[in-house]
């Protein structure tokens, strides 16, 4: 059985976040504002169905998906693109591969030491 990622998670650190955003092509002003944010992530997991809310003082983001089923993801307000996303389990790591106009995009979530990593 894969890991249970359910819970409310608060940002503790964001190592190399500036470099990550720069690689994504996020504009200067948005990068400077985003570095100041301390988002909260609320994950609701029911088997392989997920609802992930990300809350911050700048904007909120919601994504719903089922592991193994491709879905359209709208990243408006993040890096402002739409893509087709497919989330799978890699052992206890939830991994998303995004296909769209920008190559090599995606994310992973996993729990280590009682903390959620992204």
Contact 6, 43 (CB under 8 A): yes
CA angle, 92 then 90 then 113, to 5°: 30
Q: Quick one: pLDDT band at residue 35, thresholds 50, 70, 90?
A: confident
Beta-strand pair 71-74/61-66: unpaired
pTM: 0.86
CA–centroid distance for 33 within its chain: 18
Encode pLDDT of 87-99 as tens digits.
999 999 999 999 9
Task: Please tell me the predicted confidence (pLDDT) of residue 78.
Answer: 65
């Amino acid at each position: 059985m894969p890991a249970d990622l359910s819970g409310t998670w608060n940002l503790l650190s964001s190592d190399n976040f500036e470099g990550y955003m720069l690689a994504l092509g996020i504009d200067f002003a948005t990068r400077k504002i985003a570095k100041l944010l301390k988002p909260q992530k609320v994950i609701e997991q029911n088997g392989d169905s997920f609802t992930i809310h990300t809350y911050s003082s700048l904007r909120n983001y919601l994504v719903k998906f089922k592991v193994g089923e491709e879905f359209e993801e709208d990243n408006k307000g993040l890096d402002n693109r739409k893509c087709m996303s497919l989330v799978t389990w890699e052992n206890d790591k939830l991994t998303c591969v995004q296909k769209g106009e920008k190559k090599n995009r995606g994310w992973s979530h996993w729990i280590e030491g009682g903390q959620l990593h992204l």
